[in-house]
Amino acid sequence: MHFYEIGDSEIERHLVFRNYLRSHLDAVKEYGKFLKKLSQRFPNDIEAYISGKERLVSMIEKKTMAWYQDLSKH
């Protein structure tokens, strides 16, 4: 769950990410598998887990923004 102030630019980024995952089940599976591996690899190191998760999210976000921009053209 995320909380943002009305008008925060992060809102759109999170909603686009969520909508991308809803439309791309293969990405959901990849995301879930990766998070499971991270939790197994770093069961007692939340900072390493978060760092790994952020790298994956960043890679997926590049795809989500391209997908969103393509949708916006139509």
Question: What digits encode the pLDDT tens for the residues 17-48?
Answer: 999 999 999 999 999 999 999 999 999 999 99
* Tokens describing residue 1: 């769950």
pTM beyond 0.75: the answer is: no
> What does the domain layout of the chain look like in residue ranges?
22-73
Q: The dihedral of CA 45, 49, 55, 58: what is its sign?
A: negative
- What number is the average pLDDT over the span 4-18? 89
In the chain, % of residues over pLDDT 70: 99
- What number is the average pLDDT over the span 52-73? 88
Cα angle value 59/5/11 (rounded, 5°): 25
- The rounded mean pLDDT for the chain is 90
- State how far the Cα of 66 lies from the Cα of 7, in Å rounded to an integer: 22
Give counts: helices (H), strands (E), the chain: 3, 0
